[in-house]
Amino acid sequence: MGKINSQQKRKAVNLPRMEARTHPQATKNFEGGLAYDYSNLELKLFSQVASALIGEDSFYQSAQDKDAELYRTIHAMMEENPEFVLQMAKFARNKLNLRTVPIVLLGEAAKRPELYVDECSGQSMIRRYIPAIVRRADEITEILAYLADGSSFGDWSKGNMLPNAVRRGLQAAIHNFDEYQLSKYDRDSGSFKMRDAIRLIHPKPMDKSESALYKYLIEPDFWNLDVAEEAEEMEDLLPKTYHKKMMLKKEKFTPAAIAHMDQGHVTWEVATTHFGNKKEVWEACLPNMGYMAVLRNLRNMLQAGISETHLADLIADDPERVKKSRQLPFRFFSASKVIGNEYTEVQDALARAFDISVENVPLKTGKTLVAIDFSASMEQPISKKSSVSIKEVGMCMGAIAVKLTHGAVCIFGNDIKWEPLRSTDSMVTNVNLLYQDRRAVGQATYAHLVLDDAIRKSLFFDRIILLSDMQCYSEGSMYGCDYRSLRESLLRYRRDINPRATFISVDLEGYGTVQMPDDDPQVMLVGGWNDAIYRLIDVWENGEDYLEEVRSL
C-alpha cells in the first residue's frame, strides 16, 4: 500500500514553524525561547549601544556580564570595520543623546590606534572624531579616566604618555568650551580633575582669556580676590569665574550675592548648596538653568514655593527650547510621575512639552500595530538611581508610536489586552492609561499571542512595531509551554492576512538576540529609547539603509 493513499491520516507539516526553527540564525534567549543571532554586526552594535547603560545590572545579567557582551561586539566590529565604532560613537552622542557609551566606544578605539589610520591622509581617525564625540566639557576628563583605568597606557601620574591622537583630538575639542563650561565641570570628585586634563593635553591658548582660564584651572588660587589689582585682573579676564567666587564669599543671600550669581551664571547646584533650598534662591537660579535641570528639579522648586505658572511657562511656552533640549522621551513621564497630580498646571505643561518634542518626527501612513512587552523582566529600573523602569520606557515609546501612526496598541504578558489609546490624546495621557494596566496581563512574555489574536480577528496591519527586551517565550522554553514562537506567528500572519506586512523590532535592552532574523527584507531591527528611532524607521520605509545615517553623520 502506498504511503500517501492510505486510511491513516497524515499529520500536516507546519511550514511556518519549520521555517522559524530551522533558520541558520536560530538560537535561544535567556528564557529558552526561540530567538535569533545577528548576522549583521553593525545592526547588533547599534541595538546594543542604543539601549546601553554602562555599569548597570539588567534583569537577566549583571552589569559586568552585560558590559562584557557589548565589549565583545565592539572588538569584533573593530576587526571588521573599525571606523563604524567611531561613527556609532558620534551618532550615539549627537542623535541618541547618550553620554557614557560614546566614551566607551571612543576609549576602546583609542586603545587600538593602528586600526585608525586614514588610508588617504595618513592621519588618525581618532583625532578627527574626538571633537564630534566630546560634546560636554566633563567628557574630556571622562575619556582620560576611561583610558587610564586598567588600560595598557597605565597611570598618567607615573609619566606614561597619552596617545598622541587622543591628545591632539582633545586639544581641538577643548576649544569648543568656554570659561563657563570648563569651570562648571571643574569638580573635585572623580579620579581626574580638569587641571589634570590641562596638564596632560597641553592645549595652546587662543587668546589671553583662554590662557588665564587654563592657568586658573591648574591653580585656582592664582588670583587673590582680597588684593584689588588681582581681583580686577581676574574680573577682566575671567568674568564668570570671578563673579562665582565673589558669590561664594557671601554668607547671606543679598542683592549683591544675586548680582554675582547672575553675572557668573552660577549653577543651581552651587547656589542651593551654598544658600539652601529656598524659594528666592531657586528664583535666582531659573534664568540660567538648562531645560533638563528644570525637569529634574520640579518637585524641589514646587515644594520651595516657586509659582506653578512660572514653571509651566518654562516647560512648554517655548517650543524651540523644548525641541533643542533633546530630552529622552521618558524624561517627561518621569517628571510627571515625581511631582504627583496636585500640580495640574505643571502636569499640563509636561503633557504639551512631550507632544512638542516629537512634532518634527514624520507621520507614518498605513495601519500600525504596536505590541508592548509588559512582562516581569521589563520592570527592571533603567539604573540604580532611577525610578523609571524599562516597561515605562516602552510605554513612552508606544505613546509616540500611537501619536505618529494612529496605531492600535496591544500589551502582552501571560495574556494580551488591546488598549483604547487615541492619537488625538496627549502622549502623557496615553502613557498614564498604559501605566494603569501595568499589572493587567501577568508577568510572562507570550508575544505571539498578539499576532495570533490579530489572525483570529482578521485584523489588517501594514506594519507591526514590537517594543520589548526580546526575551519572549516559545515552544521548548524553560517553562515547558508548547506555545509557538513570535516568528512563526508573523509568518502565519503574512500567509493568512497580509503578505506585505513589515515588522519593526525595537530592542529596549540590548541583550544581543532578537525575535526576527536580520535577513528578512520586511524586518527592521533597531534599538533605543529615543524618538530618533522613529526617524530611522522613516528612512528604512523609504527603502534606504538606515545605518547609512550613522555612517554619513
Output the pLDDT for position 186: 83
Q: Are 16 and 516 in contact (CB under 8 A)?
A: no
Q: Are 455 and 496 in contact (CB under 8 A)?
A: yes
User: What residues form DSSP beta bridges with 502?
Assistant: 463
Smallest CA-to-CA distance from 310 within 319, 301, 320 is with 301
Smallest CA-to-CA distance from 217 within 261, 176, 187 is with 187
User: What is the amino acid identity at position 200?
Assistant: L
Q: Note the pLDDT tens digit of each residue in 148-158.
A: 875 545 555 44
Q: What would the grid cell of residue 23 be? A: 533558520
How many Å is the maximal CA-CA distance in the chain? Answer: 113
Output the pLDDT for position 11: 44
Residues with pLDDT less than 50, the chain = 1, 3-6, 9-13, 152, 157-159, 478, 480
Output the pLDDT for position 31: 93
For domain 17-40+364-551, the question of CATH label 3.40.50.410 is answered with yes
Strands 502-507 and 523-527: parallel
Q: Where are the beta strands (DSSP E) in 269-391?
A: 368-373
Helical H runs in 13-62?
15-22, 41-50
Output the pLDDT for position 475: 63
Output the pLDDT for position 472: 95
Q: Which residue has the cell 569651570?
A: 183
Q: Are 92 and 50 in contact (CB under 8 A)?
A: yes
3-state secondary structure 494-535: HHHCCCCCEEEEEECCCCCCECCCCCCCCEEEEECCCCHHHH
Output the pLDDT for position 122: 80
**CA 43 to centroid of chain Cα atoms:** 16
First-to-last C-alpha distance (Å) of the chain = 68
Q: Note the pLDDT tens digit of each residue in 62-88.
A: 999 999 999 999 999 999 999 999 999
Output the pLDDT for position 385: 85
Phi and psi, residue 418, nearest 5°: -80, 125
For the chain, the structural domain boundaries read 17-40+364-551
Smallest CA-to-CA distance from 241 within 182, 285, 196 is with 182
Output the pLDDT for position 119: 78
